[in-house]
Chains A and B, each alone.
Chain A
Amino acid sequence: MSEVDLKKRRLLQSAGAWGVLGIVGAAVPFLQSLNPSRVTRLKGMPVEVDVSNMSEGQQKTVMWRGKPVWIIKRSKEMLASLDVLQGNLRDPGSESSSQPSYAQNQYRSVDPNYLVLLGVCTHLGCAPTYRPEKGAIDSEWQGGFFCSCHGSKFDLAGRVFDGVPAPTNLEVPPYHFKDGALVIGEEGE
């Protein structure tokens, strides 16, 4: 290869490398801007909920990052129903479901009295309804959540029943209690 050709090739290589670098660099702002804006990020900050005056069995819904989060104050009786069902559940130990480690227990919560769940069906994202009354959906029904879209059923800890389309238990968002208030969207210390 002649000297000119070598020079040409070296220059072509550096021009190419520089060009690719430039295009990648130019793509960064374009992609970055697609991420949530600062306002959206601020809106996605943790939400504080006062749960002190909730009555037993009551459901409260708050929005966090565009999704409904349910808070349910469970009664003794409701908690007792959770022991009975083990056999009919797909993932009773929440092994393949998504929840913070502190909610991977039978009650799927930090404080068994308060259940905190993302109100989004793990099948295709519909919003299930809270049906606490016994026998509301079928004769065995101990109270729980029913998704009318494709008939998924969950118990009062958001655990999914066998034989329905939803694959996993309802998700638990990160949360903790701070000075008696419930803070959703943030891990505790």
Chain B
Amino acid sequence: MSDWLRLRVPFMYDLLDHLKHYQAPKNLNFWYFFGALSLLVLGNQLLTGIWLLMYYTPTAADAMASIEFMMREVNFGWLFRYLHAAGASFFFVVVYLHMYRALLYGSYKAPREILWLSGCVMLLLLMAEAYTGYVLPWGQMSYWAARVITSLFKTIPVIGEPLVLLIQGDYEVSEVTLHRFFSFHVVLFPLIILGFVFFHTLCLHAVGSNNPDGIEIKDNLDAQGKPKDGVSFHPFYTVKDVMGVGIFLFIFLSVVFLAPRGWGLVLEPENFEIANPMVTPLHIKPSWYLAPYYAILRAVPDKSLGAIAMFASLLMFFLLPWLDRSPVRSMRYKGPLSRITLGLFTVSFLGLLIVGCLPATYWATFSARIFAILYFSFFFLMPIYSYYDWHKVPPSRLTI
């Protein structure tokens, strides 16, 4: 049987063999859970999304009613809604930690630039996916988020206005916009994301995993040509990853079952009120996972410059492989300058996240400016401090 199949679908066997024998460094720590967990959450979003689609109606009159219907009348409808909503938030938690791992261990550096870039593209896609999904319940925040974000594009010179018309399909965000965002959210973006996930994994398996020491395990091969410091992915990391999945599910499902609105972070109170184009909610704020960039937008006292700063804050990630001029990858062997700047970056990102969720008071704007400056300095000054920073010589073998 297996020969019969092997002859007909050899690539399936190659794939399985590859996964089984993929040599991973022996010293991967919990930071390496988050890639597999991203896949898990992606699966959760796809599956629960398909189930939500069975009842969701993308019209201005029925969108919210169809969701509330599902949550009350359909068997376990509430479960799918909450899994999907909390899943979106957890997706960002997991992906941000996944990226932070790369910052810690220099995973974006050569030869993993394309791997990193494909990740950056996925981050943008994920934001687009989350944003279009957020519009679908057609609550107050859905509607006003759609208006605020689409009008951002108006700041682009010359093509701004026609572009916004093109996106909205109407003179103002309306049911027409809802329909197309629906189409983007359930078909277009998921398809592209899946494509990139595939590409991302291919890249990873081509260049191999980095590790907390930031040294190449391929530099130390045994007589058979296997890395001395490598172990085959299966069973060693499959067991570990399944353990990680268990821990993650425990936390995730605790929120889903016990606090599914996530203290207003997963489902904002304002969005339980149906969209009303006549009345803006008192305090418009984005979802927490977009708040850092939104805070940067607000921190700049000029409309176009604010929009540019916001997009730039995201584009910074793309440049990282070429900004870092340190001879070593991992923070373990980088010097104090790199450590301090990463620490400040962490503070500024979290600071922007919090400030972005608060009303734009004097102090909020003031601190957003400080954090924004820190945020950008981390990137702009990196060629300098990473080059001149002290560093230790990494060991030639992994520290376990």
Contact = CB atoms under 8 A, between A and B. Distances in A.
Answer yes or no: A and B touching, Cβ < 8 Å. yes
Interface of A: 15, 19, 29-30, 32-35, 37-39
A79 B82 CA distance: 59
A29 B73 contact: no
Contact of A29 (B54, B55, B79, B242): B79
A33 B73 contact: no
A15 B243 CA distance: 10
B74 interface: yes
B80 interface: yes
Contacts of B47: 30
A102 B185 CA distance: 54
Contacts of B76: 29-30, 32-33
B77 interface: yes
B75 A32 contact: yes
Interface in B47-72: 47, 51, 54-55, 69, 72
Q: Is the interface of A mostly helix, strand, loop or mixed?
A: helix
**A-B residue pairs, 6 tightest by C-beta:** A29-B76, A32-B75, A37-B73, A37-B74, A38-B73, A39-B73
Interface in B231-256: 242
Interface of B: 47, 51, 54-55, 69, 72-77, 79-80, 242
A47 B76 CA distance: 28
B221 to A, nearest CB: 28
Contact of B75 (A15, A19, A29): A29
A5 to B, nearest CB: 13
B250 to A, nearest CB: 12
Nearest to B77: A33
6 contacts: A15-B242, A34-B54, A37-B55, A37-B73, A38-B75, A39-B69
Contact of A35 (B55, B72, B75, B80): B75
B69 A33 contact: no
Contacts of B74: 33, 37-38
B51 A30 contact: yes
Contacts of A19: 242
Given A33-B54, A37-B77, 20 more contacts: A15-B242, A29-B75, A29-B76, A29-B79, A29-B80, A30-B47, A30-B51, A30-B76, A32-B75, A32-B76, A33-B75, A33-B76, A33-B77, A37-B73, A37-B75, A38-B72, A38-B74, A38-B75, A39-B69, A39-B73
A19 B69 CA distance: 32
A87 B242 CA distance: 70
A15 B75 CA distance: 29
Contacts of B80: 29, 33
Nearest to B83: A29
A29 B75 CA distance: 7
A34 B74 CA distance: 8
B238 to A, nearest CB: 11
A15 B235 CA distance: 13
A177 B76 CA distance: 37
A10 B54 CA distance: 42
Nearest to A35: B75
Contacts of A35: 75
Contacts of A37: 55, 69, 73-75, 77
B65 to A, nearest CB: 12
A125 B247 CA distance: 51
A39 B80 CA distance: 18
A34 B77 CA distance: 10
A19 B243 CA distance: 11
Nearest to B70: A37
Nearest to B50: A30
A19 B55 CA distance: 30
Nearest to A42: B73
Contacts of A15: 242
A138 B35 CA distance: 73
A3 to B, nearest CB: 19
A34 B50 CA distance: 12
A33 B72 CA distance: 12
A36 to B, nearest CB: 9
A37 B75 CA distance: 6
A40 to B, nearest CB: 8
Nearest to B48: A30
Contacts of A33: 51, 54, 74-77, 79-80
A32 to B, nearest CB: 4
Contacts of A29: 75-76, 79-80
